[in-house]
Structure 1
Amino acid sequence: MAVVIREYDPTKDRLGAEEVDRVCEVGPSGTMSLYTDHLGEPLARIRNSPTYLMLVAETTGPTKQIVGLVRGTVKMVTCGKKTKRGAKISSPIYTKVGYILGLRIHPSNRRMGIGLLLVRRMEEWFKEKGAEYSYMATEKDNEASVRLFTGRCGYTKFRTPSILVHPVYAHRRHISRHVSIIQLSLSDAEALYRARFALTEFFPRDIDKVLANPLTVGTFLAVSENDYQWPGIEAFLKNTPESWAVVSVWDLDSVFRLELRGAPALWRGVAAVSRAVDRMAPWLNVPAIPNIFRSFGAWFMYGLGREGTKKARMVRSLCAYVHNKARGRVSVLATEVAASDPVRKAIPKWKRLSCDEDLWCLKRLGEEYSDGEVGDWTKSTPGSTIFVDPREAFKNVSFFLA
């Protein structure tokens, strides 16, 4: 079958693209699947990125049909660090990367090489934009996707972060009275991230635009002191408390919604009973499970950084604070951290909704784009932390729950 790969045209391709997305995000029979439900325009999932493109695969002939699509974005991120001779402070090394997301092929048109054509054309666009690397995220058990990228497209299995998801209950969670929570201004949040976390792998150079985006709910700082008074960012950086943590929150609910399908009747019944008991006897503080078996919204916690001996407590306090702010707004909180991150255990999660090992694959597009400072990033050793850009959060959700 002959197909044409071309740029998405919202004036005539929207219905066809939405249909491909819809039929590709339903899990196999007999399993539960967490899938995304788009809110209108398919480009909404990438419009918040600095540079983006959406491609479609369309059949030729008198009856044209969209049978595949892929989205891509380009940005500058940290890939390493450098220290000048005699200097005590390192500076980040940035590289331009392309991110492939939302590769979808209509089930009736698979195994025809359409996915390969879409990926190669997207990589050509990445090169046109000066990207040195291309990367993508998938589930490690998605054999077809892993085989396409690591086998036919030449990608390397690079990082395996964990996606952690937790329901938002009806009641407030406890925050220690020995912890102070402060909401930072945009300028203070940017200064803190650049001063303390710019060396983190995949840290976006345009963090200022991420923080200023209307989808960012706010940036919150937890300090291990009671009634802590914010001294200003300069004073804080000069004399930081012994333990502290910071997190920013992104409103995924405004971009797409989620739904859990295929859940057993017992699960649905237990969840319904928990909500009913909580309504009748709210003083019992029953952890009523929100209705996640129909379309629901989520907040994504990003930029989770911390320091000090009590950093795990600070992280737990921040998660509890965000949980309390999310009540009545969304049904779940989510974040993504490096699999080896030592504070991962401090982040609450519901195992049935979480994914212990997501898979990121990376490919070097060409040495001619390298500045020679970091070498080949695909061969680097993973660190204990990673920065997950909220503009890309949950955009490949289709993992299946046992």
Structure 2
Amino acid sequence: MENRCEVGPSGKLSLYTDLLGDPICRVRNSPAYLMLVAELVVVGSGPDKERREIVGAIRGCIKTVTCGTKLSRSANNKPLPIFTKLAYISGLRVSPSHRRMGIGLKLVRQIEEWFGENGAEYSYMATESDNHASVNLFTQKCGYSKFRTPSILVHPVFAHRLRPDPRLTILTLSPADAETLYRRRFSSTEFFPRDIHAVLRNRLSLGTFLALPRGATWRGAADFLASPPESWAVLSSWNCQDVYKLEVRGASSVRRALVKTTRALDRAFPWLRLPSVPQVFRPFGFHFLYGLGGEGPNAVKMIRALCGLAHNLAKEGGCGVVATEVADSEPLRLGIPHWESLSCAEDLWCIKRLGEDYSDGSVGDWTKSPPGMSIFVDPREF
């Protein structure tokens, strides 16, 4: 059923997902998760008078995230995070031969019931902005509203390594130092997970990397936060290829030949550093970059250098692409290398308030709040 469902922008090319035999792989690492399936009972004749066929599936998970900020009364009006319990809908699939029968709507309502039973205040989902069937289902029938439109930025992994910037020092932080840095600097970012420690210590986490000016020293997170350099940047990398793989289908033979030619040239003449397109027409893995942040006039250049490090790490791991997702107004976006043809300029997040009996607190109704400069995209849900 999954293999018959297309995922991705409309057009001739389609993106298929290989779950590597684990149907809950994309929610398994969340604090709480559930998968539901819709079965069709087929009655026939003969010895097997009744058989069951799975015609739909949906996954959901729940976590606690930042939904807004309030000013501290005792810390010089420093913004403090306001947390809420948030549910996420992932992987709603209905078999092409059984669509327009209300199966998707029933699956959404059933998993929302589980969300409510477990105390979730909001539910959200992500889809392509041109996936009209999905958008209409959630906004017109399920009560969701369009909320955020981040961009998915994808960069191919070339056959050659990218050169490091000699003007910078890049450090690998321990999970403890990374947690301290993220909590102190980014916990007020929208969608920041309160269990960031679980993300950074997960077996799929490939590390957190900090870019500093050349010659800068590191004496631990506390010392860094007390007196940071003028410019710095940070990001973390997540190993998605051990969770699932992707495959592009529907490409013409001409397109396949052109892509193959770029790889051959890159391998034959590595010193030319020609950009090559990876083998995306068979299952390929990727790394996801998250927790991107930084400060100072050179932060954009430092993010670019960190993305180069992530590219080389992905090359060593045999990945096809490196991907990330950022807010459309993210200041550091200029430093993230990507190919427009592989990226999604406008991913659509829709949100719904699950109950009216929750306290509005300091943030009010989150579904009506304006977007901020940045969002924190949890790699467990990508």
TM-score (norm 2): 0.94
| Whole-angstrom distance in 1 between the partners of 2:205 and 2:74 | 39
| Whole-angstrom distance in 1 between the partners of 2:74 and 2:182 | 24
| Whole-angstrom distance in 2 between the partners of 1:68 and 1:389 | 25
Counterpart secondary structure, 1:269? helix
Provide structure 1 residue ranges, at least 5 long, that are not aligned to the other structure. 1-19, 394-402
> Do the aligned partners of 2:87 and 2:122 also contact (CA within 8 Å) in 1?
yes
Equivalent residue, structure 1, for 2:264: 276
Equivalent residue, structure 2, for 1:212: 201
Counterpart secondary structure, 1:367? coil
| Whole-angstrom distance in 2 between the partners of 1:251 and 1:26 | 21
Q: Paired residues, what number?
A: 373
The one-letter code matched in structure 1 to 2:334 is K
The one-letter code matched in structure 1 to 2:186 is F
Equivalent residue, structure 2, for 1:101: 90
| Whole-angstrom distance in 2 between the partners of 1:280 and 1:313 | 30
Shift of 1:30: 5.9
Q: Does 1:236 align with 2:217?
A: no
Seen in structure 2, the aligned counterparts of structure 1 residues 384 and 263 have a Cα distance that, compared at 3 Å, is: same
Provide structure 2 residue ranges, at least 5 long, that are not aligned to the other structure. 44-49
Equivalent residue, structure 2, for 1:11: none
Match of 2:100 among 108, 111, 116: 111
Equivalent residue, structure 1, for 2:70: 82
**Within-5 A mapping of 1:2-401:** 20-25=1-6, 31-60=12-41, 62-85=50-73, 87-88=75-76, 89-223=78-212, 225-329=213-317, 330-370=319-359, 372-393=361-382
> Do the aligned partners of 2:9 and 2:131 also contact (CA within 8 Å) in 1?
no
Counterpart secondary structure, 1:101? strand
> Do the aligned partners of 1:157 and 1:362 also contact (CA within 8 Å) in 2?
yes
The one-letter code matched in structure 2 to 1:326 is A
The one-letter code matched in structure 1 to 2:348 is L
Q: Per-residue displacement from partner, 1:143-196 (whole Å, max 9, x unpaired)?
A: 111101000100010000000000011212133211110000000000000000
Seen in structure 2, the aligned counterparts of structure 1 residues 350 and 29 have a Cα distance that, compared at 3 Å, is: closer
Shift of 1:371: 5.6
| Whole-angstrom distance in 2 between the partners of 1:272 and 1:318 | 28
Counterpart secondary structure, 1:65? strand
Q: Per-residue displacement from partner, 1:31-72 (whole Å, max 9, x unpaired)?
A: 112232111120222111110000011124533221111000
Q: Per-residue displacement from partner, 1:252-285 (whole Å, max 9, x unpaired)?
A: 0001001112223333222222222233333333
| Whole-angstrom distance in 2 between the partners of 1:198 and 1:369 | 22
Shift of 1:321: 1.0
Which has the larger displacement, 73-82 or 285-294? 285-294
| Whole-angstrom distance in 2 between the partners of 1:87 and 1:354 | 41
Counterpart secondary structure, 1:85? coil
The one-letter code matched in structure 2 to 1:134 is S
The one-letter code matched in structure 2 to 1:53 is L
Counterpart secondary structure, 2:246? strand
The one-letter code matched in structure 1 to 2:21 is G
Runs of 4+ in 1 over 4 A off after TM superposition: 26-30
| Whole-angstrom distance in 2 between the partners of 1:305 and 1:58 | 44
> Do the aligned partners of 1:168 and 1:326 also contact (CA within 8 Å) in 2?
yes
Shift of 1:86: 5.5
| Whole-angstrom distance in 1 between the partners of 2:133 and 2:150 | 20
The one-letter code matched in structure 2 to 1:91 is L
| Whole-angstrom distance in 1 between the partners of 2:8 and 2:156 | 21
Shift of 1:364: 0.3
> Do the aligned partners of 1:130 and 1:369 also contact (CA within 8 Å) in 2?
no
| Whole-angstrom distance in 1 between the partners of 2:7 and 2:197 | 36
The one-letter code matched in structure 2 to 1:358 is D
| Whole-angstrom distance in 2 between the partners of 1:153 and 1:214 | 36
Seen in structure 2, the aligned counterparts of structure 1 residues 348 and 29 have a Cα distance that, compared at 3 Å, is: closer
Counterpart secondary structure, 2:225? helix
| Whole-angstrom distance in 1 between the partners of 2:168 and 2:377 | 26
> Do the aligned partners of 1:57 and 1:118 also contact (CA within 8 Å) in 2?
yes
Shift of 1:91: 1.2
